[in-house]
Chain A
């Protein structure tokens, strides 16, 4: 392993150029003091470009020296004339390095999961890993999962939706999005887990099977890929998109203030591009939002819209931009949110509060579920996942699976209700 690392270091410094072609490494053992003295002198001869891997120390102690190709024959003639015996340890150093390089690449490849069963669900993943996961899931379940690219982000990354469907044409569907706010890593991680859960449970779990036999599930795991990438490369606590704002040094729009629902409302969606809740120049000005709006409108048959955020342990329904109650509020409250948080708590005792956005957390304009509800999507909910502030956005990865498991129970309750309500 050490040699592997040593060669890796060597490789890095030579920038993959073939600098060691024909170089040999010789083992030389001085038999007496005269030979020892000679070899010591040889160490100081810079013109031969000799590289002593194991220096000259004492009689009978081996010396290892790398000689470049152009000086090799000369060196061997000199050693022979002095009756100093040598043995080649490495005939062609470049060949050895090439072989090691292959080994390193193979090893690195072995760390990448080959399928969604060997994917590590207990770790937060980079964007490229999530994209790979999505493609693997589709490849493994071609009759159940497909990937729809609904648009591109500001930095031209694909906005991908996984569609889980057992058939039919434009069936009633459930929309779920995670990761609209980049730093809320537990949400994208849960999205991944939900995706795997769906393919695993179809045909095994009666509730999920019934749901998928009657409806489609649409899941956008990385709703804000530019922001997510930025949380990996530069600022773990980034929230917004990464689109520059004209006439300002500050970048980004809060994608959950950019929807056409009380857009630009006075109180807490600020006009300031430097604000974390800057709503952008116009409703739907951001491609990450517009692509969902267009998709939902074109689809025309979405019956539940669930946006997942973190943190605070809340399950909320519209509205955020006004105190007027949603017209289905009683039904939403008593029949569903209450049931969903109870199901969630049943697994690990995690306590959620529920209520309208504006009462429970704050007034917020231009939010996704306000818009979705006003489109006629009755079952519009937003989750704020674990925790309540102890770790906040930096939720330990060990909590990914428990969080996903308990949240799934609440999602199932909502999806099941949506299935049974033929509105």
Chain B
């Protein structure tokens, strides 16, 4: 099976629309380990056959969940760093509507969990999946309640350490088979997930659900520029097809500039 496509992007900023930053100073920090809320009755039918749901969606069914996952990827491309990483905590409500013949728009109320500071916040988001060939990436708008935790000091420290260039980072299989990650490598795992979120966001459709499976390899490259530069081989998992997708990703990072993807290319999975 030949590889699907060859995308060379010189991307200066993350994809997606510009969110409106939260103004509220309310400190929600909901403890994620609260007792299960009653789930919406799963027997509520959404529609039959292959027709995708519109109108009010059951938030625990897959159409809302797939759209919400796209919001997670968007938040990571927009705000992610070695010390800031978002997960999807919950979907509270969702609606979907067809937009003429151009595509479908979802409106979602979700909770996002910032994993490193262990804080959860509510977000409101719109996800538009364009229709037609060739497939276009989704467009996302999101606004969340809380101001982001300050991670500048940690980012600077990490940046300085690897900018000095005494030893360039080189690592593979993160996490390892036992799910273990060396503490020194943790920030680069977070960085890899954030960088991969650019791919996952770009590739998402109503028929995919992406998560990062493993960093096969990440190597820091020498560079004259201020930013740290990385060459990497990422393994992504699509829950819907159950496939493992292999992507080469070349990206830079600095505390000031954030993550910038220079090149991303899907490569064929090894023959088996």
| A235–B49 alpha-carbon span in the complex (Å) | 36
Asked if residues A348 and B33 are in contact (CB atoms below 8 Å), the reply is: yes
Asked if residues A274 and B1 are in contact (CB atoms below 8 Å), the reply is: yes
Residues of B within 8 A of A391 (CB): 175, 179
Asked if residues B241 and A237 are in contact (CB atoms below 8 Å), the reply is: no
Tell me if A396 is interfacial: C-beta within 8 Å of chain B: yes
Which of the residues B33, B42, B211 comes within 8 Å of A359, measured between beta carbons?
B42
Residues of A within 8 A of B178 (CB): 123-124, 396-397
Closest 8 CB pairs of A and B: A349-B33, A389-B211, A396-B179, A355-B42, A276-B242, A345-B36, A394-B175, A394-B179
| A236–B173 alpha-carbon span in the complex (Å) | 10
Task: Name the interface residues of A115-145: CB closer than 8 Å to any CB of B.
Answer: 123-124
Residues of B within 8 A of A236 (CB): 173, 177, 214
Tell me if B46 is interfacial: C-beta within 8 Å of chain A: yes
Query: Chain B: which residue is nearest A330 at the CB level?
Result: B43
| A325–B68 alpha-carbon span in the complex (Å) | 26
Query: Which B residues are closer than 8 A to A by beta carbons?
Result: 1, 32-36, 39, 41-43, 45-46, 48-50, 58, 60-62, 69, 87-88, 90, 115, 173, 175-180, 211-214, 235, 237, 239-244, 271-272
Asked if residues B48 and A323 are in contact (CB atoms below 8 Å), the reply is: yes
Asked if residues B42 and A277 are in contact (CB atoms below 8 Å), the reply is: no
Query: Chain A: which residue is nearest B193 at the CB level?
Result: A390
- Known contacts being A333-B42, A349-B32, A391-B175, is A360 close to B240, with CB within 8 Å? no
Tell me if A393 is interfacial: C-beta within 8 Å of chain B: yes
29 pairs, A vs B, C-beta closer than 8 Å = A185-B177, A231-B177, A236-B173, A237-B244, A238-B272, A249-B271, A251-B272, A254-B242, A268-B241, A272-B1, A276-B244, A312-B239, A333-B43, A338-B39, A349-B34, A349-B35, A351-B90, A352-B36, A354-B60, A355-B42, A359-B61, A361-B62, A390-B115, A390-B211, A391-B179, A392-B211, A394-B176, A394-B213, A394-B214
Q: Separation in Å of the A273 CB from the closest CB of chain B?
A: 10
Query: Chain A: which residue is nearest B39 at the CB level?
Result: A353
Asked if residues B179 and A362 are in contact (CB atoms below 8 Å), the reply is: no
Q: Separation in Å of the B43 CB from the closest CB of chain A?
A: 6
| A394–B213 alpha-carbon span in the complex (Å) | 7
Asked if residues A393 and B237 are in contact (CB atoms below 8 Å), the reply is: yes
Residue of B48, B69, B178 with most partner-chain A CB within 10 A: B178
Interface string of A248-266 (1 = CB under 8 A from B): 0111101000000000000
Given A237-B244, A397-B180, 12 other A-B residues pairs in contact with their CB atoms under 8 A: A232-B177, A237-B214, A237-B235, A345-B36, A359-B58, A360-B42, A389-B69, A390-B211, A391-B179, A394-B213, A396-B178, A399-B179
Residues of B within 8 A of A392 (CB): 211-213, 237
| A183–B88 alpha-carbon span in the complex (Å) | 23
Asked if residues B34 and A355 are in contact (CB atoms below 8 Å), the reply is: no
Which of the residues A123, A329, A330, A345 comes within 8 Å of B35, measured between beta carbons?
A345
| A390–B112 alpha-carbon span in the complex (Å) | 13
Which of the residues A268, A351, A354, A396 comes within 8 Å of B42, measured between beta carbons?
A354
| A359–B41 alpha-carbon span in the complex (Å) | 12
Asked if residues B179 and A355 are in contact (CB atoms below 8 Å), the reply is: no
- Known contacts being A249-B271, A397-B180, is A388 close to B87, with CB within 8 Å? yes
Which of the residues B36, B115, B179, B244 comes within 8 Å of A351, measured between beta carbons?
B36
Q: Could you count the A-B residue pairs with CB atoms below 8 Å apart for me: how many are there?
A: 120
Asked if residues B175 and A124 are in contact (CB atoms below 8 Å), the reply is: no
Residue of A232, A323, A362, A397 with most partner-chain B CB within 10 A: A362
Tell me if A187 is interfacial: C-beta within 8 Å of chain B: no
| A362–B32 alpha-carbon span in the complex (Å) | 27
Residues of A within 8 A of B34 (CB): 349
The main secondary structure of chain A at its interface with chain B is loop
| A251–B60 alpha-carbon span in the complex (Å) | 35
Chain A, interface size category, equals 35 or more
Residues of A within 8 A of B35 (CB): 345-346, 349
Query: Chain A: which residue is nearest B38 at the CB level?
Result: A338
Query: Which A residues are closer than 8 A to B by beta carbons?
Result: 123-124, 185, 231-232, 235-239, 249-252, 254, 267-268, 272, 274-277, 312, 323, 325, 329-330, 333, 338, 341-342, 345-346, 348-349, 351-356, 359-362, 388-399
| A268–B240 alpha-carbon span in the complex (Å) | 8
Q: Separation in Å of the B165 CB from the closest CB of chain A?
A: 30
Residues of A within 8 A of B177 (CB): 124, 185, 231-232, 236, 394
Residues of B within 8 A of A397 (CB): 178-180
Residues of A within 8 A of B62 (CB): 359-362
| A323–B35 alpha-carbon span in the complex (Å) | 31
Asked if residues B43 and A389 are in contact (CB atoms below 8 Å), the reply is: no
- Known contacts being A348-B33, A392-B211, is A355 close to B242, with CB within 8 Å? no
Which of the residues B46, B50, B272 comes within 8 Å of A235, measured between beta carbons?
B272
Q: Separation in Å of the B41 CB from the closest CB of chain A?
A: 8
Asked if residues B60 and A355 are in contact (CB atoms below 8 Å), the reply is: yes
Q: Separation in Å of the A397 CB from the closest CB of chain B?
A: 5
Asked if residues A276 and B241 are in contact (CB atoms below 8 Å), the reply is: yes
Residues of B within 8 A of A276 (CB): 241-244
Which of the residues A254, A346, A362, A396 comes within 8 Å of B240, measured between beta carbons?
A362
Q: Separation in Å of the A69 CB from the closest CB of chain B?
A: 47
Query: Chain B: which residue is nearest A362 at the CB level?
Result: B240
Q: Separation in Å of the B171 CB from the closest CB of chain A?
A: 14
| A330–B44 alpha-carbon span in the complex (Å) | 11
Q: Separation in Å of the A355 CB from the closest CB of chain B?
A: 4
Query: Chain A: which residue is nearest B269 at the CB level?
Result: A274
| A392–B177 alpha-carbon span in the complex (Å) | 12
Asked if residues A341 and B36 are in contact (CB atoms below 8 Å), the reply is: yes
Residues of A within 8 A of B88 (CB): 388-389
Query: Chain A: which residue is nearest B272 at the CB level?
Result: A251
